[in-house]
Structure 1
Amino acid sequence: MPRYFFDIHDGAEVQRDAQGVDCASAAAATVEAKRALPAIAADEVPRDGDHRNYTVVVRDTLGAPLYTASLSFVGTWLN
């Protein structure tokens, strides 16, 4: 089973995945990336402002990027 690596970008820093995850296919790895984003955003609510973009970059075993998915957090005062 191929191994894929999921690097996390939050606009301030990059966390490179050194372990990776075995996935049945590249399509399965994209599903993992999409599932990871809401969990990351929930744990990392920005405390220094109301805007943050979270991005997962999926890499193959050679380090080549294959897929990217992003989720944006935007808070706005309504008064």
Structure 2
Amino acid sequence: MPRYFFDIHDGRFQRDEEGTVCADFDAARREAMITLPEISRWAIPCDGDKQAFTVLIRDEAGGVIYTATLTFAGLRLNNAAN
């Protein structure tokens, strides 16, 4: 089975050096879809309301074959102290 590499960009770039063995492209795509919400759950900054999380999937040859981005955007709607 082929190995895919999942590079993460969340304000800084984290290159995947180990990769993950997946059955095919569709399995790698599903892995990216599962990974993005997990990353964002723990990485949204407490002092900001905007953050984008991107996964770049590379194949064994090093070529980027897929990219997916999840965006968090918050907006306070009132001036209440709570």
Shorter-chain TM band: over 0.9
Q: Give the secondary-structure state (helix, strand or coil) at the position aligned to 1:48.
A: coil
% identity of equivalent residues: 51
Return the TM-score normalized by structure 1: 0.95
Runs of 4+ in 1 over 4 A off after TM superposition: none
Task: Find the aligned partners of 2:49 and 2:4 in 1 and give their Cα distance.
Answer: 31
Q: Give the secondary-structure state (helix, strand or coil) at the position aligned to 1:33.
A: helix
How many residues end up aligned between the 2 structures? 78
Task: Find the aligned partners of 2:20 and 2:34 in 1 and give their Cα distance.
Answer: 13
Structure 1 residue 48 displacement after superposition: 3.4
Q: Give the secondary-structure state (helix, strand or coil) at the position aligned to 1:40.
A: helix
Task: Find the aligned partners of 2:47 and 2:13 in 1 and give their Cα distance.
Answer: 17
Unaligned stretches of 5+ residues in structure 1: none
Task: Find the aligned partners of 1:57 and 1:34 in 2 and give their Cα distance.
Answer: 11
1:41 is matched with which residue? 40
Task: Find the aligned partners of 2:64 and 2:46 in 1 and give their Cα distance.
Answer: 30
What is the Cα-based RMSD across aligned positions, in Å? 0.7
